[in-house]
Structure 1
Amino acid sequence: MHPEFESDVRRSAALLRERAGGAPGPRIAVVLGSGWGGLAAEVEDAVDVPYGDLPAFPPIGVGGHAGRLLIGRIGPTPVMVLCGRKHAYETGDAAAMKGVIRTLAAAGVRTLVQTNAAGSLDPALGPGEVMLIADHLNLVQRSPLIGETGNERFVDMADAYDPLLRQQAQSAAQALGSPLREGVYAWMLGPQFETPAEIRMLQRLGADAVGMSTVPETILARHAGLKVLALSLITNLGCGLAEVALSHHQTLSVAAQAGDRAVALLCAILQALPPETA
């Protein structure tokens, strides 16, 4: 890896450890996608770190993504909460979040909890519902590990979304009275939405939801040795499944309406996870 990149990661991780009050810092990091921003208000004793202060972090250029990191607690659980992500569709770079994930790992994070907004491929999984990701389809067939060297680049993606973490999330959802469906998430590059033919293709391939993020970060996290848990907030039915024109404005609007319930569920899940998820 380029020496400048490694230097940026070390400096960013050192700053996060310093802002967290020294080692060990939080072992759980949460990436907030569209509709999940309300979690930021739930972080207690929050220390606010703008992405601009972290040299390994990219600038954020998508509405609904604030570009700041919070260090604090959700109930008793120490967390780092990342308000926003860089998407591959912004520059075409599947490794856009590499510096972020490497920084989190270097700062002591052991579990990455990802959230996103997604379109449903099943009318029974409607807008406002939350889906727990059990597996993914990398339809883009791009890897954020291009350029890595050595045998470690050949990452085993079995159980990419950790089975024990998913079980703990299901238990927390049941205790809250919020049934949580599991499904397969398909990554499409975007930024355009899918055509009806593409939606039919994804259905036949076994996908339950489709979106434009998450998969590159999961690959990076697994390469860095992190466990991953991921949740999709369903904001629409896929193109051709409903008579509604798709737009990012609609995504943000539906996400805002369903966000409170999704955030309450996420808070319950985070508090159910062991703080030391090594």
Structure 2
Amino acid sequence: MQDDHVIPEAHYREAADYIRSHTRQQPTIGLVLGSGLGPLIEAIEAPDVIDYADIPHWPHSTVQGHAGRLVIGQLEGRTVVAMQGRIHFYEGYTMAQVTLPVRVMKLLGVDTVILTNAAGGLNPAFSTGDIMLINDHINLPGITGTNPLIGPNLESFGPRFSIHTRMYNPALGKLAHRVAGANNLTLRDGIYVSLSGPTFETPAEVRMLRLLGGDSVGMSTAPEALVAYHTGMRVLGLSTITNMSIDSTETQEKVSHEDVLRLGRQIVPNLTLLLRGILRDMPPFDPEEMENGPHA
């Protein structure tokens, strides 16, 4: 019986081969869309659409607000492959399965990945509707035993011990701020805290995460960022603040997944404007700039 914690390299290649057989387009940029952000797909032109269920070895999204489709097409003159809905650890998948799509993107020729998520605001200066540029993350599941790179290392993807000092690409971050300024968009900066979910945080946990330095919190992104950077991709991360995390047991406020989806949809126009500008002005990928060195 196959151990799902260890995915054979052949499975990644079979998934990539299937996708190639269903499109003539050659994507170089990957997009992963979080809860409520699926409508961004509508901006992609000449789309080739593939259901997750049809791709060999590809995990299926089971969460409301995640359509479960791969869309390949044109956006601002770039060929992109977009995940309309991601896979989460809390759905019962292993970290290897959660991050399988990222390694498949690498095999398809993707050199830059843009990760978006719907997140709770930890920073009291933030407001619902804000967009936050992820400068770094705190991956609590990863540092306590569920890092997606645990297990036999696949040398064809990256080194055994990879360096992650500048995982979120500084040049792309500066570009995001330039685009935001040119379009009168407020773009926050901050540290994203990744948890396993599926429960929202308790007030005591919210206060703890603030003490750790977190500005936003969610249930995704960090595993994908780790694996993408391990393979030698540039990474840009954006959190959409769809709720403010509750830090007191005395509050009458409530948060629900439905609220997250609703606010996510409201943020889509600003996020679309920001992403279009980033893609339009994105500089060419230079593998020599990567911390771990260029990977084949």
Instruction: Provide the TM-score with structure 2 as the length reference.
Output: 0.87
In the other structure, the counterpart of 2:11 is 8
Letter in 1 for 2:45: E
In the other structure, the counterpart of 1:32 is 33
Q: Note the C-alpha offset of 1:208.
A: 0.4
* Structure-2 separation of matches of 1:190 and 1:276: 34
In the other structure, the counterpart of 2:269 is 260
* Structure-1 separation of matches of 2:234 and 2:92: 27
Task: Quickly say closer, same or farther: Cα 1:57–1:137, change in 2 above 3 A.
Answer: same
**Runs (5+) with no aligned partner, structure 1:** none
Residue 169 in structure 1 maps to residue 173 in structure 2: no
Alignment of 1:115-154 (within 5 A): 115-140=116-141, 141=143, 142-149=146-153, 152-154=159-161
In the other structure, the counterpart of 1:271 is 280
Q: Note the C-alpha offset of 1:276.
A: 5.2
* Structure-2 separation of matches of 1:189 and 1:202: 14
In the other structure, the counterpart of 2:54 is 53
Task: Quickly say closer, same or farther: Cα 1:4–1:202, change in 2 above 3 A.
Answer: closer
Alignment of 1:98-117 (within 5 A): 98-117=99-118
* Structure-2 separation of matches of 1:124 and 1:20: 44
Partners of 1:121 and 1:199 within 8 A in 2: yes
Select 2:198's aligned residue among 173, 188, 191: 191
In the other structure, the counterpart of 2:230 is 223
Partners of 2:127 and 2:241 within 8 A in 1: yes
* Structure-1 separation of matches of 2:23 and 2:281: 22
Letter in 2 for 1:269: I
Task: Quickly say closer, same or farther: Cα 1:11–1:85, change in 2 above 3 A.
Answer: same
* Structure-2 separation of matches of 1:97 and 1:189: 12
Letter in 1 for 2:270: R
Per-residue CA distance 1:242-273 (angstroms, 9 max, x = gap): 64212111111221222222222222222222
**Runs (5+) with no aligned partner, structure 2:** 288-296
Partners of 1:36 and 1:263 within 8 A in 2: no
Over the matched positions of the two proteins, sequence identity in percent amounts to 40
Q: Note the C-alpha offset of 1:173.
A: 1.3
Instruction: Provide the TM-score with structure 1 as the length reference.
Output: 0.92
Per-residue CA distance 1:180-221 (angstroms, 9 max, x = gap): 111000011110011111111111111100000000111111
In the other structure, the counterpart of 1:180 is 187
Alignment of 1:236-255 (within 5 A): 236-240=243-247, 243-255=252-264
* Structure-2 separation of matches of 1:30 and 1:277: 19
What SS does the aligned partner of 1:86 have?
coil
Q: Note the C-alpha offset of 1:7.
A: 2.2
What SS does the aligned partner of 1:133 have?
strand
Instruction: Report the aligned-residue RMSD.
Output: 2.1
Q: Note the C-alpha offset of 1:275.
A: 6.0
Count, aligned residues: 276
Q: Note the C-alpha offset of 1:99.
A: 1.9
Q: Note the C-alpha offset of 1:4.
A: 7.0
* Structure-1 separation of matches of 2:57 and 2:284: 25
Letter in 2 for 1:272: D
* Structure-2 separation of matches of 1:197 and 1:187: 16
Letter in 2 for 1:152: P
What SS does the aligned partner of 1:119 have?
strand
Letter in 1 for 2:8: F
Partners of 2:30 and 2:80 within 8 A in 1: yes
Partners of 1:185 and 1:211 within 8 A in 2: yes
What SS does the aligned partner of 1:19 have?
coil
* Structure-2 separation of matches of 1:38 and 1:194: 27
